[in-house]
Amino acid sequence: MSLSNPLQITLQPSGHQFETDAQTTLLQAALDQGFMLPYGCRNGACGSCKGKVLSGEVDYGAARDGALSAAERAQGMALFCCAKALTDVVIECREVGAARDIPIRTMPCRVESMQIVGQDDVMLLKLKLPANERLQFLPGQYIDILLKDGKRRSFSLASPPHQEGFIDLHIRRVPDGHFTGHVFDGMKVRDILRFEGPLGSFFLRDKPESNAVDGTERPALLVAGGTGMAPMASIIQHAIQVGSTRRMALYFGARTRADLYLHQQILDWQKQLPSLEYVPVLSDPAPQDDWTGRTGLVHHVAMQDIGNLSGWQAYVCGAPAMVDAAKKDFTQAANLPIEHFYADSFTYSAT
């Protein structure tokens, strides 16, 4: 962000810092920078974003009395969804670090754009949220699309939490699939969907206290099979946004070159995130691919490269067989502590 008169905001106890201007609320500025403060209504009514101003001056904005009493104001409390900085400010606030801190909501959304990629079997779907709504989630979590017959279908959020107004999904077509078939054959731009979320405990642990080894942050091994790349896309874009320097190694596995549907995008992300290593792996390259890169099972290639995973943290996403094999091999053959293995297995709904 390039600001003419930047004001510095410091979050305590984390010490996170960023710049803002006098027109942007403290909550908005923090979210735009990828820092996850709790919030609810975002218009001064619910009090979910309440915290203390430790130093500096703020304009309290339109905080309602019911959500912020005069006594609380006198103690230095503010609603960060309304408050704007007038000077450099230090605020005390809880940063969302666990899925339980985030309310699960049901929301409508509208299909904004549809792009078919891969072997014509992956749909990049952009969904527009209702005006002034934002979905709070941790990078890696998923939503359930609610179908008219009461059934639900799970899809990982591929966009990062700081993306305003839209969420992205990567949907693989399942042969004879009820919902994914509709996505490819019936869905149109402007169609309305309903979803519930955010859901799941698969998300990037990026608080040093949750993953430190010998005083330094554990590097993160990201292993994606097919559209298992979707939550990794969210994690990587979040890391870029917060200026992460944590070492990340992404292994993206697919059958053929055409199935590496996000390859070019990942190379572009790498330019913005020097700490990201990227290894594409094909299990069954086509003769016309002229593939000179790595081949085999994606998690085996990661093990060949890294060897001992005892100091790592692993995030694995994709088909259930791949996730199961990675869990077994990483923890038994490569010494990954089981508590540092995180996965979302792309199972499907029971009929």
Ligand X SMILES: Cc1cc2nc3c(=O)[nH]c(=O)nc-3n(C[C@H](O)[C@H](O)[C@H](O)COP(=O)(O)OP(=O)(O)OC[C@H]3O[C@@H](n4cnc5c(N)ncnc54)[C@H](O)[C@@H]3O)c2cc1C
Residues in contact with ligand X by CB under 6 A are 142, 153-156, 170-172, 174, 176-181, 200, 227, 230, 344, 346-349
Q: Which residues contact 2 (CB under 8 A, 6 or more apart)?
A: none
* Closer to ligand X by Cβ: residue 157 or 220: 157
What residue is closest to ligand X based on CB?
Answer: 177
* Closer to ligand X by Cβ: residue 15 or 186: 186
Whose tokens are 């809880």? That residue is: 94
* Closer to ligand X by Cβ: residue 45 or 111: 111
Rounded to the nearest whole angstrom, what is the least distance from the CB of residue 155 to ligand X in the complex?
4
**Residue 288 carries which DSSP code?**
G
* Closer to ligand X by Cβ: residue 179 or 291: 179
Rounded to the nearest whole angstrom, what is the least distance from the CB of residue 254 to ligand X in the complex?
13
* Closer to ligand X by Cβ: residue 201 or 245: 201
* Closer to ligand X by Cβ: residue 217 or 344: 344
Rounded to the nearest whole angstrom, what is the least distance from the CB of residue 153 to ligand X in the complex?
4
Rounded to the nearest whole angstrom, what is the least distance from the CB of residue 273 to ligand X in the complex?
21
Rounded to the nearest whole angstrom, what is the least distance from the CB of residue 179 to ligand X in the complex?
3
b (16+ CB within 10 A) / e for 29-59:
bbbebbbbbbbeebebbbbbbbbebeebebe
DSSP line for 21-45? -TTSBHHHHHHHTT-----SSSSSS
Rounded to the nearest whole angstrom, what is the least distance from the CB of residue 183 to ligand X in the complex?
8
Q: Are strands 7-12 and 50-55 parallel, antiparallel or unpaired?
A: unpaired
Are 40 and 48 a contacting pair, CB within 8 Å? yes
- The helix (run of H) or strand (run of E) holding residue 229 is helix 229-241
Radius of gyration of the chain measured on its C-alpha atoms: 22
293, two tokens: 């890169």
Compute the distance between CA of residue 122 and CA of residue 101 in angstroms, rounded to an integer: 32
Please state the separation of Cα 11 from the chain's center in Å. 21
